[in-house]
Structure 1
C-alpha cells in the first residue's frame, strides 16, 4: 500500500548543478539534501522543502519536461510569484483548476514547475 510520495525526480543536463542550486536554494528557498555517497558520483542535486523533495538527476541526453511537472503547494502564492518575478523568472498564471490558484514557471534548465494553493 502506498503511504505517501517520497520524491519527484526531474532530469537536468550535465554540468548544470550550480545553476540548479542557485535556483532551487536561492530562488525557491529549498534546502539541498546531500546525496548518499553511492549516488553522488552520478552528479545531480537533491532538494527539500517541508515534506516535498525534488531530485535532479543528470541525463546526458537531456530534454526538459515541458508538460510533466511537480506541483508544489505554497503559502501566500502572490508573494511567492512576486519572489520568482523579482529574480527574473517568468510566471504564468492559470485559472483552470477550480478552487485553487496556481501558476507555472520553469527551472534554469527548462523543466516546468507548478505552484499551487487552495
Structure 2
C-alpha cells in the first residue's frame, strides 16, 4: 500500500462567491470547471481541473482566507498567467527564494493565497 499522488486540493470560500471563483480560476487562469455530483452541488462551491488533478473550492461557514497555506498550481506559461492576473487587478508577488524556480503568489478573489509555478513536460519536471 502506498500513496501514488494527489487527486485534489480543497480550499475554502464563502457562500455565494462561486461566480467570482469561476471567473478567476476558469476564465483568467484557464482551468476547466468540473461539474459537481448533484448531492455535493447542493452544498455550493465549485470544482476545477488542474491537469489530472483537481482544485475544489468548498463553502465554509465562518470563512477566513488561507494566508499561508496554499495550493501551488503548475503552469507552462508563468509570465502569461501573471500578466492575465495583473490585467484583472490581481497582485502578482514574484518569489525567487528557490534558485532556478520561476514562481509567484497571488490571492484569489476571496483572499486565499495561491502559488503558480513554471514547469515543463507531462511529468511536470521543474525548470532549473
Instruction: State the TM-score, normalized to the length of structure 1.
Output: 0.95
Q: Hey, what's the Cα distance between the residues in 2 that align with 1:76 and 1:34?
A: 26
Q: What is the Cα deviation at residue 50 of structure 1? A: 1.5
Q: Hey, what's the Cα distance between the residues in 1 that align with 2:80 and 2:44?
A: 32
Aligned residue-pair number: 118
Q: What is the Cα deviation at residue 88 of structure 1? A: 1.4
Check the 8 A contact 2:12/2:63 in 1, yes or no: yes
Q: Hey, what's the Cα distance between the residues in 2 that align with 1:97 and 1:52?
A: 24
| Partner SS state of residue 81, structure 1 | helix
Deviates more, 1:106-115 or 1:77-86: 77-86
* Aligned positions of 1:17-36 closer than 5 A: 17-36=18-37
| Partner SS state of residue 22, structure 2 | helix
Indicate the residue corresponding to 1:99 in structure 2: 100
Indicate the residue corresponding to 2:78 in structure 1: 77
Indicate the residue corresponding to 1:58 in structure 2: 59
Q: What is the Cα deviation at residue 113 of structure 1? A: 0.4
Unaligned runs of 5+ in 2: 119-126
Deviation readout 1:69-102 (Å, 9 max, x if unpaired):
0011111211221111112111000100122011
Instruction: State the TM-score, normalized to the length of structure 2.
Output: 0.88
Indicate the residue corresponding to 2:121 in structure 1: none
Q: Hey, what's the Cα distance between the residues in 2 that align with 1:113 and 1:10?
A: 10
